[in-house]
Chains A and B, each alone.
Chain A
């Protein structure tokens, strides 16, 4: 499996942020397929291939970019479910959020997040952040073997 074939799961309810993130990823020449889910429940459906995502092809995404403020299940709940289930236990998750609150940062890390990134307001910085994220998680980081099943 090459990185080009691996999917990025973006969990983001704001269409502006979604558009800007997708644009930033494209600007950084990241060609991976990007699956977008718009609330926490849908994100879990995607990972478990159920309901609307029952038909998707097998395999887990290379990385999950997870917003915290989400409808239905919020980001921390989604993270907690991902970590508590054996099939997604080791899935790399990056929290990508506006929040700079200590409780969100601490909460994310204590639930086992792999990285916590605050979305910069300035687009230029935002693009730079996304570029670095993509580079790191898609190219440099070696995913856990459990994911290869």
Chain B
């Protein structure tokens, strides 16, 4: 019989003591050699026999049999003594078996208590063990269930991810398909794995003819070898970038014709490996527009050169005959003046005056053309100070004129100083000129408007003009006054307008005949925000 007893120390479970109990020796030693000849003995745990002497047979039970109950912790044991045939024969002379049995039972009880206690402990220890095992199993079960649950969650998430991925792939496919450009996706070997419908339209191929083919089939043969090298270089370090920057790229259609393209490349890592998305734009129209623009630029440059040659010719060649007219007129006057009458001499003087005026016109015209051609240098220009200078030189030229001048202080602009000087010379010169007949001539220089559009103005209280003719004011050689009233070539405001428009500004006028005129101008483009 195996005995297991739990070991406890300070109430803490420490383990099991396992021992083997020799039942034969335990119970066998209860009966002496002599008694063993008279009685057979058995011990039961319930119906289960724990021990029996070799001759014990319940079937042979007769008078003199003794049953004694043994109360053991957690168990109900029974001791049975059966008189052997020899004992029955000596019945009269023997100790009454009942007394013997009771004493024996007490001895068994006393002897065995310890063992039975041990056995009981063993039993409860077994239970504990079983319990622990059960607990462990239950824990395992719970653990399993728990992991089953998380597995299910994981599974659901995976499914969701798969669905999401499928949706993403569908979106990707739709995106590729609906792109306005030809979209070609290639694998690591440069083979076409996917194309959109635009590709088929532009390249004039069937889809089946493209899939699995090297991308080079869409490139004119003369670029192919080079392209393979470039492609391998790209595969080694793929980044999203335009292809062949500053190169003219051409694509090859199925019918052998070519068209100019722009290509941008983006690498994309898919589960099947590295893919390259080639977005191909057909730039035929852009190229055409560019070429047209180039042509018109060339034409414009030619016109500009012609204009410059013209200005140069005017500068040289038109002045020379004038000099002849003026010079020989003078010579005639000096050498032969006495042979002419007064009328003849006045005609010669008119020739002189006419040539002088024409000389001035040519110079004005040249100035105008120079303003158009001259390079601009932007800097901070102090308009108030420039205006003072111009007024000063006007006063020096005509010291007899008494003109009241009011210049707002601190007027500044970012502009070309030389050009702004010409603007002020023209505007103040006009104001000076057109106030010649005014009783109390007055000239004002100022500015209005804030950050959005700052406009400067030159105002006078002179002759003014009818606003009906304001449209003609800024055209070259347009004059609103007769030469007998006010001299001038009609080039001043045209010059002003050209300078202002070269600065991106605008110029406009307010006027009333007899009351004066105001010329407004800006020196920069109006800002968006205002």
Query: When chains A and B are docked, how far (Å) is the Cα of A118 from the Cα of B201?
Result: 69
Query: When chains A and B are docked, how far (Å) is the Cα of A64 from the Cα of B41?
Result: 165
Inside 8 A of B402's CB, which chain A residues have their CB? Answer: none
Asked whether B322 lies within 8 Å of A121 as measured between CB atoms, the reply is yes
Inside 8 A of B149's CB, which chain A residues have their CB? Answer: none
The answer to whether the Cβ of B347 comes within 8 Å of any Cβ in the partner chain is no
Tell me the nearest residue of chain B to A121, going by C-beta.
Answer: B359
Interface size classification for chain A: 20 to 34
Inside 8 A of A68's CB, which chain B residues have their CB? Answer: 316
Given A16-B323, A121-B326, A122-B356, verify A23-B331 contact (CB < 8 Å): yes
| Binary interface encoding of chain A residues 8-24 relative to chain B, with 1 for a CB under 8 A from any of its CBs, else 0 | 00000010110010010
| Binary interface encoding of chain A residues 79-123 relative to chain B, with 1 for a CB under 8 A from any of its CBs, else 0 | 000000000000000000111111000000000000000011111
Asked whether A123 lies within 8 Å of B322 as measured between CB atoms, the reply is no
Asked whether B330 lies within 8 Å of A121 as measured between CB atoms, the reply is no
Inside 8 A of B319's CB, which chain A residues have their CB? Answer: 98, 119, 121
Inside 8 A of A123's CB, which chain B residues have their CB? Answer: 323, 326-327, 329-331
**How distant is A14 from chain B, measured CB to nearest CB, in Å?**
6
The answer to whether the Cβ of B178 comes within 8 Å of any Cβ in the partner chain is no
Query: When chains A and B are docked, how far (Å) is the Cα of A70 from the Cα of B139?
Result: 116
**How distant is B352 from chain A, measured CB to nearest CB, in Å?**
8
Tell me the nearest residue of chain B to A14, going by C-beta.
Answer: B320
**How distant is B377 from chain A, measured CB to nearest CB, in Å?**
14
The answer to whether the Cβ of B328 comes within 8 Å of any Cβ in the partner chain is yes
The answer to whether the Cβ of A137 comes within 8 Å of any Cβ in the partner chain is no
Asked whether B312 lies within 8 Å of A119 as measured between CB atoms, the reply is no
| Binary interface encoding of chain B residues 308-337 relative to chain A, with 1 for a CB under 8 A from any of its CBs, else 0 | 000110011101111110111111000000
Query: Which residues of chain B in 317-370 are interfacial with respect to chain A, using CB atoms and an 8 Å cutoff?
Result: 317, 319-324, 326-331, 352, 355-356, 359, 363, 366, 370
Inside 8 A of B352's CB, which chain A residues have their CB? Answer: 122
Asked whether A16 lies within 8 Å of B359 as measured between CB atoms, the reply is no
Asked whether B323 lies within 8 Å of A17 as measured between CB atoms, the reply is yes
Contact of B359 among A14, A17, A122 (CB under 8 A): A122
Interface size classification for chain B: 20 to 34
Given A121-B356, A123-B326, A124-B330, verify A98-B320 contact (CB < 8 Å): yes
**How distant is A77 from chain B, measured CB to nearest CB, in Å?**
16
Query: When chains A and B are docked, how far (Å) is the Cα of A20 from the Cα of B526?
Result: 54
Asked whether B366 lies within 8 Å of A16 as measured between CB atoms, the reply is no
**How distant is A116 from chain B, measured CB to nearest CB, in Å?**
14
Query: Which residues of chain B in 47-68 are interfacial with respect to chain A, using CB atoms and an 8 Å cutoff?
Result: none
Asked whether B323 lies within 8 Å of A121 as measured between CB atoms, the reply is yes
Query: When chains A and B are docked, how far (Å) is the Cα of A120 from the Cα of B359?
Result: 9
Query: When chains A and B are docked, how far (Å) is the Cα of A98 from the Cα of B370?
Result: 16
Asked whether A101 lies within 8 Å of B331 as measured between CB atoms, the reply is no
Tell me the nearest residue of chain A to B319, going by C-beta.
Answer: A98
Given A100-B366, A121-B355, verify A20-B312 contact (CB < 8 Å): no
Query: When chains A and B are docked, how far (Å) is the Cα of A20 from the Cα of B322?
Result: 12
Tell me the nearest residue of chain B to A100, going by C-beta.
Answer: B315
Asked whether A126 lies within 8 Å of B323 as measured between CB atoms, the reply is yes
Given A100-B366, A122-B356, verify A16-B327 contact (CB < 8 Å): yes
Inside 8 A of A119's CB, which chain B residues have their CB? Answer: 319, 323
Asked whether B316 lies within 8 Å of A126 as measured between CB atoms, the reply is no
Tell me the nearest residue of chain A to B356, going by C-beta.
Answer: A122
Query: Which residues of chain B in 138-193 are interfacial with respect to chain A, using CB atoms and an 8 Å cutoff?
Result: none
Tell me the nearest residue of chain B to A15, going by C-beta.
Answer: B324
Inside 8 A of B326's CB, which chain A residues have their CB? Answer: 121-123
Inside 8 A of B370's CB, which chain A residues have their CB? Answer: 102
Query: When chains A and B are docked, how far (Å) is the Cα of A100 from the Cα of B331?
Result: 25
The answer to whether the Cβ of A38 comes within 8 Å of any Cβ in the partner chain is no
Tell me the nearest residue of chain A to B362, going by C-beta.
Answer: A121
A-B contact pairs, 24 of them (CB 8 A): A16-B320, A20-B324, A20-B328, A20-B331, A69-B316, A69-B317, A98-B316, A98-B319, A98-B320, A98-B323, A100-B315, A100-B366, A121-B319, A121-B323, A122-B326, A122-B352, A122-B355, A122-B356, A122-B359, A123-B326, A123-B329, A123-B331, A126-B323, A126-B327
- A-side interface residues toward B, CB under 8 Å? 14, 16-17, 20, 23, 68-69, 97-102, 119-124, 126
By Cβ-Cβ distance, the 3 closest A-B pairs, closest first, are A121-B359, A16-B324, A123-B330
